[in-house]
Amino acid sequence: MDEGAQFLLATTHQLLYYARAFDVMIIDEVDAFPYHADPMLPYSTARALKTDSTLIYLTATPRLDLKIRSHLKLLPTVFVPQRFHGHPLPVPVFLASFDLKKRVVPKALKVWLDEKKRTGRRVLLFAPTIEKAEKLKGELPGSISAHSEDPDREDKIGRFRQKEVDFLITTTILERGVTFPSIDVAVLDASHDVFDEAALVQIAGRAGRSPEDPDGDVVFFHDGASDAMVNARDSIRKMNKLAEKGLK
C-alpha cells in the first residue's frame, strides 16, 4: 500500500481501502465518469476523510448539483475562467450535415478536412462510437484511430502528440486530460447522446492549448443541434466574457 507516505496519488476506487485516513483530499475532474455516476465513489471519498478535513473538487465543467450548491453558497467556490495563456476558449461552430446518417464521411466534413489538409492543419476528430471511428479511419487516408478497445492506443496518441501523425480519430476517451500542440478539433454527430454538455466543453478545450497557437478551430457537425451543443457553446461564451472582464 502507501507505507505511510505523506502524499498519495490514487484513483477514487482505491479509496475503498482507507477509512478516516486523509487530512486533505483533492478530487480532480470530479464531473468525469465514473465518479459522478457511481454513488459508491463519493461514499468511499467521504469514508476515507478524517472527521476534521478538507475536500477540494477540481473541474472545468461542474455538473448541475455542484452548480446549485455553489450558487446557494453551500459550496465555497473559486472560479478561474481564463486559460493559462490568457487567450479565450475557441467557440464551437455548428455545421449542419444532414447526410451524416447516410454517409461514413458527410460532405461538409470532407470539405472541412480538405481545407485543413491544404492549410497544413492537424486534426483531432471525435466520433460518437468505436464502430464509427473505425469506419472513418477506413474512409480517410492518412488517418489513425485510437479508442478504449485499441491495444495500441497509447502509442498512437504519443505519435500524434509528437507530430508524427497529423490526423487522429478518437472517441470520448480523449475528451479531457490530454494536450496536443497546434490542432483543430471536430465532432462528428455532435448531437449524439454520448456528447453531453460537459463532454462538448471539454472537447472544445482540446483546441488552442498552446500559447504559440491559441486559436484552434472547433466544429460540431450535426443533423440537428442538441440542447447539449447549445449549452456548451453558451457556457464557453460565458467563460470567455468573464475572463475578458478579469483582464480589464
Residue 247 is predicted with a pLDDT of 59
Residue 51 is predicted with a pLDDT of 93
Q: Does domain 93-247 have CATH number 3.40.50.300?
A: yes
CA atoms of 53 and 247, how far apart (whole Å): 34
DSSP category for residue 33? T
Residues 16 and 22 sit within 8 Å (Cβ to Cβ): no
Closest CA to 240 of 80, 93, 66, 76: 80
Give the pTM: 0.88
The ranges assigned to domains in the chain are 12-71, 93-247
Residue 194 is predicted with a pLDDT of 96
59 half-sphere exposure, CB direction, 13 A CA radius: 21
ω into residue 34 within 30 of 0, thus cis? yes
Residue 208's contacts (CB-CB under 8 Å, 6 or more residues apart) are 83, 87, 89, 90, 214, 215, 216
pLDDT tens, the chain, 248 aa long: 566 788 999 999 999 999 999 999 999 999 888 888 899 999 999 999 999 999 999 998 888 889 899 989 999 999 888 888 888 999 999 999 999 999 999 999 999 999 999 999 999 999 999 999 999 999 999 999 999 999 999 999 999 999 999 999 999 999 998 999 899 999 999 999 999 999 999 999 999 998 888 989 999 999 999 999 999 999 999 999 988 887 55
Residue 4 is predicted with a pLDDT of 73
Which residue is associated with the grid cell 480538405?
114
Residues 208 and 91 sit within 8 Å (Cβ to Cβ): no
SS3 231: helix
Residue 248 is predicted with a pLDDT of 54
Residue 218 is predicted with a pLDDT of 98
